[in-house]
Amino acid sequence: MSNAAQAYARAAQTTSSPREIEAQALLKAARKLQDAANLNASLETINEALVFNSKLWSIFVTEAMRDDNPQPVETRQGLANLGIFVLSQSAALQVLPEADKIHALIEINRNLAAGLSGRA
């Protein structure tokens, strides 16, 4: 099981709300990305954060595309489109890390987490 999936599973055991589980996973990814955006971050730290974020977003995209997902089609399409953007940016950043673009991923994760937690 991937680190992202394990984090998701651990969060599921401690929280009853699926939305809060997702928010916690997004915030964990944002923290890892924040560490990666540090000017002194090693390539290993950057790669680990980007891979974790990609795995998490792969889960979100997969869930959004499931036929039995209860969310409205527009919501699912929006999440899938955002996920595709995040995945493509994460892949590009693994090749050429840029702090500004990493910060954009951090903001996406934090804003979505806030929305899921009702803090937006």
Residue-wise pLDDT tens digits, 67-93: 999 999 999 999 999 999 999 999 999
Cβ atoms of 17 and 114 within 8 Å: the answer is: no
Mean pLDDT of 38-64: 94
- Sequence-separated (6 or more) residues with CB below 8 Å from residue 24: 11, 15, 113
Examine the pLDDT at 12 and tell me if it is beyond 60.
no
pTM over 0.85: no
48: pLDDT confidence band, cut at 50, 70 and 90? very high
What structural domains and CATH numbers belong to the chain? Answer: 3-116 (1.20.120)
pLDDT > 90 fraction of the chain, expressed in percent and rounded: 76
Mean pLDDT of 94-105: 93
